Amino acid sequence: MAKPRELVTTVREAVGDRGDVVVYFEVPNGEYILRDQVCWEFINQHCSYFTERSLGTLFTECGFALRAVQASFGDQFLAIEACSSSGGVTAAKIASVKREPVAALCKAIRPAFNASIARWTNYFAEGHLNKRHIIVWGAGAKAVTFLNIIDPAGALITHVVDVNPRKAGRFIGGSGQQIVDPSAVRELRPEVVILMNPIYRNEIASALHAGGLHPELLVA
């Protein structure tokens, strides 16, 4: 949403005075992205990034009373519950939430991004020279960003695995790597699998081992 305040205001108007109605929103956790320097999370679909404080402030300024604001999904998302009734978390309490020095984190992300690009570029160059077969697992927006920066011509990575059957047989926008379903990995027999989301590491490792494959797993 390009204008999140308009959305939240519209929802608040729809709720009205019904104190029994609770709304739930989930957004990418901007503080996690900056703190852990998850560079590939900066994607064109995300018009804005929130911290716990800024998300809470948005909802209180739009007339909601907050019930809870907390990180979820391995800190990757912020979840907020809010209602119209009194007794929620106040704007003053949200303002007092202990938080990371966001300005400093923002200043640090550019050199971190440049360093990450240099590190992966060197890794792929060495892998290409050593003829290591490398694939990527996860054909979401992060993979699109990663591959278009690191391998824009699709010369180093040929395939991306994704569990969504609707993506199989299609291609990564821009860089052009082919998307395949997990059953194709046995034929590809990769030596290295790059994971776009570390939270699925154990699940992916189990699937690979079940197929008799034991590649090196790296997190982008």
Side-chain half-sphere exposure of 159, counting CA atoms within 13 A: 21
pTM above 0.75, yes or no: yes
Spatial distance between the Cα atoms of 105 and 128, rounded to a whole number of angstroms: 34
**Residues 178, 27, 38, 74, CA torsion sign:** negative
Task: Find out whether 173 and 199 touch, Cβ atoms under 8 Å.
Answer: no
Which residues, in sequence order, are CB contacts of 15 under 8 Å at separation 6+?
Answer: 21, 23, 83, 84
Q: Tell me if 12 sits within 8 A of 5, measured CB to CB.
A: no
Q: Residue 154: what are its φ and ψ, rounded to 5°?
A: 65, 30
CB 181 within 8 Å of CB 161: yes
Q: Which residues of the chain have pLDDT under 50?
A: 87, 92
pLDDT value at residue 98: 53
Q: What is the pLDDT of residue 204?
A: 96
Note the pLDDT of residue 125.
87
The whole-angstrom separation of Cα 76 and Cα 41 is 10
- Residue among 155, 17, 24 at smallest CA distance from 86: 17
- Taken in order of first residue, the domains within the chain and their CATH numbers are 4-100 (3.40.50.150), 120-219 (3.40.50.720)
Interatomic CA distance for residues 38 and 49, integer angstroms: 13
What distance in Å separates the CA atoms of residue 15 and residue 19, rounded to the nearest whole number? 8
Angle between helices 141-150 and 102-129 (to 10 degrees): 60
Give the whole-angstrom CA distance, residue 94 versus residue 108.
25
